[in-house]
Amino acid sequence: MVRSGGRHPLRFKVRYGVHQHPTAGLVLIDTGYGPRVTEGAGRSLPLRIYASLLRPRLIEEHQPTRVLDRLGASTADVAAIVLTHFHADHVAALHLFPKARIYAKAAVHARVEARSRFSNLRHGVFDELLPQDLSSRIVDIDQLSVKPAPNGLGEGADLFGDGETLAVNLPGHAEGHFGICFAAQPVPLLYAVDTQWCTAALDPGKAPGLPAALVASDRRALAASSRRVAAFREQGGDVLLCHDPSDSPYDLPEVPQ
Ligand SMILES: [Zn+2]
């Protein structure tokens, strides 16, 4: 998915992940945008305003149903979804997966549930996109055992009990924002989600990139997280970001036309 905005189109991707785990099954990492943001008849006025400002452009072939179909699976096969945070471009297609377990921070979700809709908006959260039964499906990543992550990244919650898929706190972008480190890959991979929007912003001497800094919930924490991600990369790790406009070897190839 790509979104554009402004008089000079700035096109950022909005990635979500598909991960086949040997014991946990088919896992999604976030869900990306979906029609509930762009065209749902029952959308609140703030969500309509958000969609008209950001103008996300949904690409049919990139929607979860189509991507899963391409991979020989269906939405019903998705056993679990890891939610890195509760922003619209990460939760908008949750309704497609009513049975999936949700790996998320229960304390952050409890705060979302306790706040008014208006107060959630100030945190960039549209609670109307969250399924009503979400709390009963959450696996609280803060209750999981922690394991060391490679390349000096610190430690992370061991999502599936094998020490290979670690949820690493990367505070600053949004409440409870975390990334996912695939520690057992030949080159360890850190999906750093929204810590930055462009990989170039992680280069030595670069201040945090503008889009990322503008929307940060805590700029100082974001800068510290950004330095940790940059150090992980300097030590030989791969970093993937949700919105980086460049193509990545981790992206699914385009469908031939
Ligand atoms: Zn976000």
Domains of the chain: 1-143 (3.60.15.10), 145-247 (3.60.15.10)
Q: What is the pLDDT of residues 226-238, one digit of tens each?
A: 999 999 999 999 9
Distance 194 CA to ligand 1 centre (A): 6
Distance 256 CA to ligand 1 centre (A): 30
In this prediction, residue 218 carries a pLDDT of 87
Q: Which residues surround ligand 1, an ion (CB under 5 A)?
A: 87, 194
Provide the sign of the torsion angle of the four alpha carbons 3, 30, 35, 72, taken in this order: positive
In angstroms, rounded to a whole number, what is the distance separating the alpha carbons of residues 85 and 19? 18
| DSSP letter string, 104-116 | E-HHHHHHHHHS-
Q: What is the pLDDT of residues 237-251, one digit of tens each?
A: 999 999 999 899 999
- Return the structure tokens found at 233: 């990369």
First-residue to last-residue Cα distance in the chain: 17
Distance 160 CA to ligand 1 centre (A): 24
Computed over every residue of the chain, the mean pLDDT equals: 90
Residue 63, C-beta contacts closer than 8 angstroms, at least 6 positions apart: 32, 34, 93
Distance 87 CA to ligand 1 centre (A): 5
In angstroms, rounded to a whole number, what is the distance separating the alpha carbons of residues 84 and 30? 7
Distance 74 CA to ligand 1 centre (A): 26
CA trace torsion 54, 56, 57, 60 (10° rounding): -170
Distances (CA, A) of 196 to 1, 44, 112, 205, 219: 18, 29, 24, 14, 12
Distance 86 CA to ligand 1 centre (A): 7
Distance 180 CA to ligand 1 centre (A): 14
Residue 96 has pLDDT above 90, yes or no: yes
